[in-house]
Structure 1
Amino acid sequence: MAPKHHFEEIYEQHMHDLFRYLLSLTRRKEAAEDLMQETFYRVLLHLETYSGEEVKPWLFKIAYHAFIDWYRKEKKRPTVELEEWHFSPQPSAEEKVFVQDEINTWLSEVSSLPEPKRNIVLLRDYHGFTYEEIAGMTGFTLAKVKMALYRGRQQLKKRKEENV
């Protein structure tokens, strides 16, 4: 299989999940789009050295490192307003609207967590990665991943109870 064809398959299969992940981290559509381009640029550069491990964790690890680079640059700039962003509209069935509203509310709550906890909660609870995959993507120990996930979930639970 030619690398270009393989790259196109990777892009098609994972672009939507990766965009949602980057959007959740950056909270800005334009930044998520830029990071998507940067991530796939890095994938293209390193595709020949790809060792055949699971593609999705490898891709998300590259995206996370691109986010960290972007985040370090952004910390030096003045804060920008958080944009309102809604995912692609679904057909107007009430159930789908309700589910989408619940997801958006949850993502909004998650976005208020500090960056490491937010990232780990998104990777585990939204994207379904294992603890080991998250540890590999973030460079944290398995214990730190579990602790950050536990503490992040506790913060979300506490906020939910306060709002009820």
Structure 2
Amino acid sequence: MKNEWEQILLTHAKIVFKYLIKIGATKEDAEDITQETIMKTIECLQQIQPEKIRAWMFKVAIHCYYSLYNKNKTIVQLKEVDLEKLMPAIEDVGFSLLTKEMASELDEALQELQPMFQQLLILKYYMGFSYKEISEILSMKETNVKTYLHRARNTLKKIWEVKFNGE
């Protein structure tokens, strides 16, 4: 049983680490946050329902990341390749291929979103999580996730149109 838990923790820790890198944590910060997340998970293992362990780990990691973010005021910067995965969020803006210039503009538009909207778009479009998984990670109702994601997409689209299409 111990080996099974270790494997589960490591599997989820790898996903958490990848997510942290994608939202802008440095490799060192992502490693530290992931390690802290594993330690807190081990400490609270008796209290966590097995099917909710990944969501719990994400909550801890996100909390740690934002604590660090608030201390350092670091801005989230996504890579061009990562931005391509977010294109479905604004696909109806009128283009299908992401050029380097568009990637830069999309990143700029993302920076104007509130952190919750950024987080929702990344969890949905980059990490590929379901609405249910996102609701567990963020401790909110699935219907609220859908509503906020809709708002995040619309806000991103409006920012895009105003900044780059001159509308």
Answer whether TM exceeds 0.5 for this pair: yes
Contact 2:24 2:76 in 1 (8 A): no
Structure 1 67/110 Cα, relative in aligned 2: closer, same or farther at 3 Å? farther
Contact 1:27 1:111 in 2 (8 A): no
Residue number in structure 1 paired with 2:131: 131
Which one of 70, 73, 79 corresponds to residue 79 of structure 1?
73
Q: Deviations over 1:109-160 (max 9, x none)?
A: 6851211111222222222323233223222333432222112112333344
Residue number in structure 2 paired with 1:91: none
**Structure 2 gaps, min length 5:** 87-102
Q: TM-score normalised to the size of structure 2?
A: 0.64
Contact 1:29 1:85 in 2 (8 A): no
Structure 1 122/62 Cα, relative in aligned 2: closer, same or farther at 3 Å? same
Contact 2:120 2:149 in 1 (8 A): yes
Q: TM-score normalised to the size of structure 1?
A: 0.65
Contact 1:19 1:36 in 2 (8 A): yes
CA–CA distance in structure 2, aligned partners of residues 26 and 100 of structure 1: 11
Residue number in structure 1 paired with 2:93: none
Residue number in structure 2 paired with 1:117: 117
Residue number in structure 1 paired with 2:8: 10
**Structure 1 gaps, min length 5:** 87-97
Structure 1 100/136 Cα, relative in aligned 2: closer, same or farther at 3 Å? closer
Contact 1:19 1:33 in 2 (8 A): yes
Q: Is 1:53 the counterpart of 2:47 in the alignment?
A: no
Residue number in structure 2 paired with 1:89: none
- The sequence identity of aligned pairs, in percent, is 29
Contact 2:59 2:138 in 1 (8 A): yes
Deviation at 1:40, TM superposition (A): 1.0
Which one of 13, 37, 40 corresponds to residue 39 of structure 1?
37
CA–CA distance in structure 1, aligned partners of residues 131 and 72 of structure 2: 34
Structure 1 84/116 Cα, relative in aligned 2: closer, same or farther at 3 Å? closer
Q: How does 1:81-96 map to 2 (within 5 A)?
A: 82=75
Residue number in structure 2 paired with 1:22: 20
